[in-house]
Chain A
């Protein structure tokens, strides 16, 4: 299986505070990687570095054999990486359909069509509808995003990321703030959507160990900015020291 993402000795410091130290790991095609760790371990920082938003203080980040350190989200989106946020990011006044259409239009390279009708673009509208259906949002296409429930906002954030047809998708706590019952259904939708959209790898940041155990093919545990463990789920959960280090200190939000 070919390597999609590779980090080598990545260190990221916010002024004096070091959030990531010497982080090296790989993501290969077909993998479902969970990144776990207590609050403040550096998970979101790692996602920001992987998506090119933050430039590492030192070390390398490569995506599909290209240098991706600090190249920015736009460039990475074009290369095939998408992301959903820990705190939902939506376009409050845009409808669900419009939100998905932003991603579809940019992925199809139609952003600069100055005088073309968006509503009349059958290509865009068809894909918007398909994506909305996958995420169960098809009945809300004309609803303004700010009027959605919290769970629907999360789904929309994720749906718009999927609409980019990425090869890799990073999900930063997609189920945070959602009830336990909804968590499983969101994860099921996500995994099905990934399969349908041809996503080659998923990186999930998650606190809920049940979900991690159920879906991951590999678990990367961070602690105070270091990689504490990089193991398949069976090995991970069989090591009491690691589980205690990660789960023991966890505070839920």
Chain B
């Protein structure tokens, strides 16, 4: 119960934010929503199913290029169409990629997904005529729910209608994911992560369910990619580059993959941390890397793990039931 209230409160704060926050920070919220959605999907595969992909930038890229192709090649503007096309495109690509990848686990799965990501990135350069190579592809201003917003200037669009649109989208994506991880389907994924051999003997079709998780994660990543591309007006090949896959992993680990809200906390912290560091020093990559190293060493369960420990200490002082804390925070523990 408490957790539901907390989430509602957070959503309310986010809804009121445009009234109080400055424009600069509001524009940073768009990539936060985008990564929040992408990482919810990514973590279904990683935190819940136990498969760590180093290639999911591929699907972010598919979403971005779908947005570009639809707006600047096909001349259509509906953002709903872009979202559907991103998800369908990612789904179709994820079928063969997933079928081949989920035959393996652990490092072999990681390397295979990395390879597919690199392959896709090289395609973007190979088909220069369509994709624009390293220049990328322009993404024109989409319409939202049929409303033509092309007359708004860019900041007004991003901090106004698009902000609310993405917030609602994150809300629905989160709700759908919450239901998935708490369904019989989600239980099967966790069983596969914990002990695939045992799961098989209980009638769970391990590879098939790994594939399902892969497909869902790909669709979430693609929708995130479409939002990213709209926010910059560009489908940038960097979005599909393997270092971007690494960023996805970074964010989830930063937030804590063992927690439902971890990816969202990770996306938020990463974006604002990166922004701060970039404004402070040109060596921001170094400090970002150092931060990750520190997090992994000091707080292996990420920021959400840290919050839980703090909450645990706080509550242990007032009530003698420390082992119930993760439940009360409503933050489901996914990993030992």
A residues touching B (Cβ–Cβ < 8 Å)?
51, 72-74, 77-78, 82-83, 85, 89-94, 98-99, 101-103, 105-107, 110-119, 121, 124, 146, 157, 160-161, 163-164
Cβ-defined partner of B201 (8 Å) among A82, A94, A99, A119 = A82
In the assembled complex, which residues on chain A have CB atoms less than 8 Å from the CB atom of B206?
74
Count residues of chain B with CB under 8 A from any CB of chain A: 29
Chain B 171-185: CB-based contact to A (< 8 A → 1; otherwise 0):
000001001101111
B195 touches A114 (CB 8 A): no
**Of B176, B191, B333, which is in contact with the most chain A CB atoms at under 10 Å from its CB?**
B191
Q: Does B202 contact A (CB under 8 A)?
A: yes
Known: A111-B209, A163-B202. 9 other contacts (CB 8 A): A93-B335, A102-B204, A110-B184, A113-B183, A114-B183, A118-B187, A124-B184, A160-B198, A161-B201
In the assembled complex, which residues on chain B have CB atoms less than 8 Å from the CB atom of A85?
198, 201
Q: How far is the CA of A35 from the CA of B239 in the complex (A)?
A: 59
In the assembled complex, which residues on chain B have CB atoms less than 8 Å from the CB atom of A106?
188, 202-204
Nearest B residue to A91 by beta-carbon distance?
B194
B188 touches A111 (CB 8 A): yes
In the assembled complex, which residues on chain B have CB atoms less than 8 Å from the CB atom of A110?
184
In the assembled complex, which residues on chain A have CB atoms less than 8 Å from the CB atom of B202?
77, 102-103, 106, 160-161, 163-164
Cβ-defined partner of A93 (8 Å) among B180, B194, B200, B203 = B194
In the assembled complex, which residues on chain B have CB atoms less than 8 Å from the CB atom of A105?
184, 187-188
A146 touches B336 (CB 8 A): yes
In the assembled complex, which residues on chain B have CB atoms less than 8 Å from the CB atom of A99?
191
- A82-B201, A89-B197, A106-B204 known; A111-B191 Cβ under 8 A: no
23 contacts between A and B (CB under 8 A): A72-B200, A74-B205, A77-B203, A90-B195, A90-B198, A91-B195, A93-B336, A99-B191, A102-B202, A106-B188, A106-B202, A106-B203, A111-B185, A112-B185, A113-B183, A115-B176, A115-B179, A118-B182, A118-B183, A118-B184, A124-B184, A161-B202, A164-B203
Q: How far is the CA of A107 from the CA of B204 in the complex (A)?
A: 9
In the assembled complex, which residues on chain A have CB atoms less than 8 Å from the CB atom of B197?
89
A102 touches B183 (CB 8 A): no
Distance in angstroms from A126 CB to nearest chain B CB is 14
Q: How far is the CA of A103 from the CA of B203 in the complex (A)?
A: 7
**Of A90, A115, A161, which is in contact with the most chain B CB atoms at under 10 Å from its CB?**
A115
Chain B 192-222: CB-based contact to A (< 8 A → 1; otherwise 0):
0011011111111110010000000000000
- A93-B194, A93-B336 known; A102-B180 Cβ under 8 A: no
B183 touches A83 (CB 8 A): no
Q: Does B118 contact A (CB under 8 A)?
A: no
In the assembled complex, which residues on chain B have CB atoms less than 8 Å from the CB atom of A146?
336
A114 touches B185 (CB 8 A): yes
Q: Does B41 contact A (CB under 8 A)?
A: no
- A78-B203, A82-B201, A102-B199 known; A117-B191 Cβ under 8 A: no
Q: How far is the CA of A124 from the CA of B187 in the complex (A)?
A: 12
In the assembled complex, which residues on chain A have CB atoms less than 8 Å from the CB atom of B209?
111
Q: Does B56 contact A (CB under 8 A)?
A: no
In the assembled complex, which residues on chain B have CB atoms less than 8 Å from the CB atom of A124?
184
B205 touches A94 (CB 8 A): no
Q: How far is the CA of A176 from the CA of B203 in the complex (A)?
A: 25
Q: How far is the CA of A110 from the CA of B186 in the complex (A)?
A: 11
Distance in angstroms from A105 CB to nearest chain B CB is 4
- A93-B333, A93-B335 known; A101-B201 Cβ under 8 A: no
Q: How far is the CA of A54 from the CA of B213 in the complex (A)?
A: 27
Q: How far is the CA of A85 from the CA of B190 in the complex (A)?
A: 20
Cβ-defined partner of B334 (8 Å) among A90, A93, A157, A163 = A93
Q: Which 9 pairs from chain A and chain B are nearest by CB?
A: A91-B194, A106-B203, A77-B203, A89-B198, A105-B184, A103-B202, A115-B179, A73-B200, A102-B191
